[in-house]
């Protein structure tokens, strides 16, 4: 079962529930291939209904747009059947069209990893959604274009497992990839090969080699969204623990961005053609700042400098070898 087909089933069930929605009842439809999960409406709110949790220590979650309630006694209308049930409810409050579409994609992405009901995995799914919507309550600190590029670099690598394990733990890390004595910063643009840098990303660090992975991407109606890219990268990774880590980092980053940005599609074929690696020491940069001056940001045009010869870059160590795709 692919993520695309599961997303169809999630969207189809939601559309059917929308036609029958009511202010008085929870109206749901089952999600095909995931019989333990149902999706629907109560008024304008989207609800995902899961089996009841017997864990008495679980407490309700209240974020600005996303609620989780355990052991809820409610009346559920499914088709022509109306029943009183005790269930777990995830509620997305009054979403706009963009957030509704994103929510369906994320639900599909997470349910794809749980073919049959599993209590620990369902707890992980709920926690992933909590982290996503908690991040949405925070200031915007990253862009979908940057995340798309980082996921592309991981998924197109010669050794995606190693590169993914070197990926940053938080979006605010100085470098995107760190392993041994090598640091790689991924820069993505949809225009000329000009990128924003902080001075700390290109300054010499004793004993450390710094590289810039520069990516030019093009929007395409047949391309991949950032949510598609998460699934794409997961297929390239063999270790389940690394896949879970990538998913958690990506969803947390997504939560810091605008809804519409999550739906933009970029072409992976042209991205692969346009990926280049540059030495940090060759990036055009301001003169060394005075002592005590920090947090300098600037735009550098990498079209003015040459990229690293692949044979030389490969000799830098494990991370470059993993990044280069023969």
Q: In this predicted structure, what is the pLDDT of residue 1?
A: 45
**Nearest alpha carbon to residue 74 among 16, 25, 18, 13:** 25
Residues found in the chain: 326
Angstrom distance (rounded) from CA 49 to CA 74: 11
State the pLDDT at residue 257: 62
Instruction: Write out the two tokens for 199.
Output: 């001075």
Write down the pLDDT at residue 170. Answer: 59
Q: Please name the residue ranges forming H helices in the chain.
A: 3-19, 97-111, 119-136, 144-155, 160-165, 226-236, 240-254, 268-274, 310-314, 318-323
pTM higher than 0.85: no
Please report which helix (H) or strand (E) contains residue 185, including its range: strand 182-189
Taking 70 as the pLDDT cut, the residues of the chain under it are 1-4, 56, 138-142, 169-172, 256-260, 326
């Amino acid at each position: 079962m692919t993520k695309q087909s599961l997303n169809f089933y999630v969207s189809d069930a939601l559309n059917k529930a929308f036609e029958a929605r009511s202010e008085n009842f929870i109206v749901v439809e089952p999600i095909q291939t995931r019989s333990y999960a149902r999706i629907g409406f109560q008024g304008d709110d989207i609800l995902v209904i899961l089996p009841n949790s017997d864990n008495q220590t679980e407490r309700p979650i209240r974020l600005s747009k996303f609620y989780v309630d355990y052991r809820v006694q409610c009346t559920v209308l499914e088709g022509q059947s109306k029943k009183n049930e005790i269930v777990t409810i995830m509620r997305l409050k009054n979403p706009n069209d963009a957030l509704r579409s994103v929510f369906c994609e994320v639900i599909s992405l997470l349910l794809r990893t749980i073919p049959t009901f599993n209590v620990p995995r369902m707890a992980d799914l709920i926690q992933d959604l909590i982290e996503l919507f908690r991040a949405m309550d925070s200031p915007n600190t990253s862009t979908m274009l940057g995340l798309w590029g980082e996921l592309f670099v991981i998924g197109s690598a010669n050794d995606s497992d190693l590169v993914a394990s070197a990926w940053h733990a938080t979006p605010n890390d100085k470098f995107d990839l760190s392993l041994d004595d090598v640091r790689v910063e991924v820069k993505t643009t949809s225009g000329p090969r000009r990128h924003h840098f902080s001075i700390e990303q290109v300054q010499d660090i004793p004993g450390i080699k710094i590289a810039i992975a520069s990516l030019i991407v093009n929007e395409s109606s047949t391309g991949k969204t950032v949510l598609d890219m998460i699934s794409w990268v997961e297929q390239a990774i063999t270790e389940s623990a690394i896949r879970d880590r990538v998913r958690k980092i990506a969803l947390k980053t997504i939560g810091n961005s605008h809804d519409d940005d999550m739906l933009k599609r970029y072409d992976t074929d042209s991205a692969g053609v346009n990926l280049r690696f540059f030495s940090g020491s060759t990036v055009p940069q301001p003169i060394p700042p005075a002592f005590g001056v920090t947090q300098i940001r600037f735009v550098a045009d990498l079209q003015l400098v040459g990229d690293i010869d692949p044979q030389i870059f490969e000799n830098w160590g494990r991370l470059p070898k993993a990044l280069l795709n023969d």
